Structure 1
């Protein structure tokens, strides 16, 4: 379902004139099974993609009330690159619609000195993908990411981030 949810949200983001969108899909990276002593080329390529971006919408499933280990591993391959950038969440699952995974990720991204935004998109896999409520949620999330992205860009231009 991740590909379907991701493509749906990507379509919403690409439809906006105030965004330039780049997809960073973990399936496109050959990460090592364990954190190596020295970063691999794939880890550096991923960190470079994070560095280039000014904000993020993280698409995550919920497994056993949490986020997948593969996502946490990838997030950990960057550090400074996440600082002072807005992060929003598009979650999916049954029951809680992935919101418990997103709540756990908020803690992770707060420690990475990112700004997690309030608005989110929570997709219930028992229903259809899309519809007016999800469209409104996607627009609200994107509006907030744009606002924080511009605010943080301006702030960093005036004064380097201290973190």
Structure 2
């Protein structure tokens, strides 16, 4: 015989309430896993002309970013690479693709939004020119039509990290 919830003890009621509160989060995580699985990006993507969930700086494809932002860093590329790796680690990024040669560095990594854990793909290319290097950056959200400014803000933060 089942006991009605009104007669259940306080811990059982508390567990029932907690379960109801977190179930939307779990359902969202299942949806994200199905609709937005990790896919490796091995070439620099570009943003669609009407995209509201993408930002790009450099490579002649600047989109939703200040086009006057510098893309040439007056530092040795190995210093810039180290700064980028520190940024990725500090922000909980997960590297999916990393391609290194003597004159270039390419990385595709994923950052997730803090609570809902929506995945965003970030692609950075650094090309070495002895005492300086040229960067190209791309960030896009896998789901949705808008990003509430997250992708331009992210690229601004990465730019600030690399140039300071």
Q: Which has the higher contact order (CA 8 A, sep 6+)?
A: 2
TM class by shorter chain equals under 0.3
TM-score (norm 1): 0.24
The structure with the largest strand share of the pair is: 2
